[in-house]
Amino acid sequence: MILIALRNRKLSSTKLFLHPQNRLHGKPSPNHPSYRYIGKLLSLLAGLLSFTESQAFQTITVEPQVQYNVSRYEDIKLMRSYFQEASLENPISKGPMKRLAPLGISKARILNVESPNSLSIDPTTKQFRFSFSSRLPLVLENCKSNNLIPHIGVAQVQQNSIATGVVNGRHYGVADWTAYEAYAYAFLKFVTIDNGFSEADFEVANEPDTTGSAWLFAEKLGNSSKRAMAEYLKVYAAWSNATNKLSKEHPELKIRLGGPGMTTFSFGGFGTINWAEQFLKGVVAQKSRLDFFSFHFYGNVQPLMGLPYFGRYPTIDDLADFLHTQLNDLGLTDVPINFSEWGPSFETRNIPKALINGNNIGAAWTARFVLDAAENNIDEGALLTFMDHQSANDSGELENMWGWPSLLHSNGITPKALNNVATMLSRLPGKRVLTSPVRQGSVGAIASSDKSKVGVMVFNQNWDFINVKELAPAEQARITIKKLPFTASKVNVFKSVMDETRANPYFIHLNKNLSRWQILDATGLRSTRMQQIPVINGSVTLPDADLAPSSVTLWEITPAN
């Protein structure tokens, strides 16, 4: 087992007596038996010495011999998978893909590849003709060269030849659903058969509960309106019919259709209906296929487990419970939940609320997110982008937009802080093991082991998204490993830290040293080897370690021989 003692440098007296049953909130019940000892202990401490720092120890026990899975998959593998797909905004070259290879990148989400003029109708024969945008084959070829499965957003634009009407020069709506379904079938066939992708995902629309269904209407509708849902379900039915037809003609294809790629907003009372609930009921009623349910999750509007609520939105725990209940009640239990966009913040400009996407604050949130998502059985996830975007500054020069939730800087070389969290996960052994408690206030731990290694990843995270400030206190950790899964008289310990100044390329950028840092350490994540530590009675105690606010630390323990 692994014992982790946490010492908060500025703990109040009530936090000296944390109990595992209260670990999610970091505060004991007023009726907890620990309170009877508070006065006695404080008197004892006051009599022994005067001091300015309170110290508290909380034991976290990890049993490497006991595999611990709370998802329907292997937890560590599931957590890693959330980094293995991202949006492919532009074709990505071999260099960046080589940088990302250790993460096991397997899929690319692709948006904005439809053309409003793909469908035309011969005026004489009334036959349909199809011509797809030049960007679509370009991106598909890029997926093929990088061995990426395409996950394509469809139903993002109208087809002008069958539009309901034109207002202010803008076409809108669908006047001929038979023709639109023929277009959907031709699009699916173009990707799978004509371009040779036997496996592909198709996501019907992107955020149709807010602006993603605007192309269907002449006027602007409010968020999650009943009218938008009614029209969207017609669009979804057309793509479902087309997918079923293609699958029947080509049973060898592994294609999936899903949606609605929705936002958080209809959960917060900003619309007239709960979009997720009505979508799922509508899909069942019209007998459409649903191979995955997709949702977008961003930390600045969705609180994670164990932290204070904020805003008008449910925690990831509440959201997952709601979605799983809906799916189960409608007979869709096996339909996976896909966070087809996720990131610390949906803001992407170079402003404080967005820059957390590129630094240690967003990385620490990400460590907590992957843990919470896995423990809530979120089956799939796609980070917003592979690489940062560039934008012209006031001088007309291109500069990197650090505000994107991305794995790489726009130079295609520098790994961002989120990448370093993914790298830490890739270094953990594959089998998650029992850890109790998993969370303690702002601190959380993920442990795993195999026959030759024990890994422990610890984060310290509690960022106030609303007021843009740090809430996590500085902590310390003492780790004792007991009942090692291997026999050794000594162990090697490698420690990797990602915080404000270490493994944080944004900090290096601010200090005008990014190019030199790339040359010295292209990975951005440096491991420090501690001295060999003796094993006593199957146990080993590591030197105390600081856990700075918004930090992630990885320990890797192996036999010294």
Residue 308 has a pLDDT of 66
Of the pLDDT bands very low, low, confident and very high (cuts 50, 70, 90), residue 322 is very high
Among 398, 427, 456, the domain-final residue is: 427
**Region 100-118: what's the mean pLDDT?**
96
Q: Which residue has the higher pLDDT, 73 or 480?
A: 73
Return the pLDDT at 530: 84
- The pLDDT mean for the chain works out to 86
Residue 465: pLDDT above 80? yes
Residue 454 in tokens: 């024990």
| pLDDT(479) > 70 | yes
Other beta carbons less than 10 A from residue 91's beta carbon: 14
Number of domains observed in the structure of the chain: 2
Q: Looking at the structure, tell me whether residues 459 and 372 fall in a common domain.
A: no
Q: By percentage, how much of the chain surpasses pLDDT 90?
A: 67
CATH number for the domain that contains residue 492: 2.60.40.1500
End residue of a domain, out of 401, 427, 453: 427
On whether both 423 and 495 belong to a single domain, the answer is: no
CATH of the domain at 202: 3.20.20.80
Render pLDDT for 511-548 as a digit per residue (tens, 0 to 9).
776 655 444 344 568 888 888 999 999 888 888 889 99
The mean pLDDT of 450-469, rounded to a whole number, is: 93
CA 473/CA 462 separation, integer angstroms: 9
Say if residue 250 is in the same domain as residue 158. yes
Partners of 547 in the β-ladder: 475
Residues 250, 180: one domain?
Answer: yes
User: Closest Cα to residue 257, out of 276, 245, 238, 240?
Assistant: 240
Is the pLDDT at 264 greater than 90, yes or no? no
* Residue-level pLDDT at 21: 30
284: its two tokens: 């069942």
For residue 58, give the 3-state DSSP assignment. Answer: coil
386 with 313, same domain: the answer is: yes
Q: What pLDDT is attached to residue 20?
A: 30
pLDDT of residue 31: 33
Residue 297's DSSP bridge partners are: 342
Q: Is the pLDDT of residue 18 over 70?
A: no
Nearest to 445 by CA among 83, 8, 68, 73: 68
The amino acid sitting at 19 is H
- Summarize pLDDT for 336-371 with one digit per residue, the tens: 999 999 999 999 988 888 999 999 999 999 999 999
The pLDDT assigned to 268 comes to 61
Alpha carbon 243 to its chain centroid, in Å, reads: 28
Cis geometry, peptide bond prior to residue 437 (ω within 30 degrees of 0):
yes
**End-to-end distance of the chain based on CA atoms, in angstroms?**
21
Residues 254 and 388 in one domain: yes
Question: Residue 310: which pLDDT band, with cuts at 50, 70 and 90?
Answer: low
Inter-helix orientation angle 275-285/316-329, to 10°: 20
**Contact predicate 428/368, CB 8 Å:** no
**CA dihedral (370, 306, 353, 552) positive or negative:** negative
Q: Do residue 43 and residue 157 come from a single domain? A: no
pLDDT at 279 over 60: yes
pLDDT of residue 293: 98
Write the pLDDT tens digit of every residue in 429-457: 999 998 878 898 899 999 999 999 999 99
Where would I find the H helices in 158-274? 177-189, 226-249
* Shared-domain flag, residues 165 and 56: no
Q: Are residues 64 and 127 in the same domain?
A: no
Do 477 and 332 share a domain, yes or no?
A: no
Residues 305 and 420 in one domain: yes
- Indicate if 382 and 306 belong to the same structural domain: yes
Choose one of 427, 460, 480: the last residue of a domain. 427
Task: Give me the domain span that covers residue 357.
Answer: 75-427
Q: Which two tokens stand for residue 68?
A: 């611990």
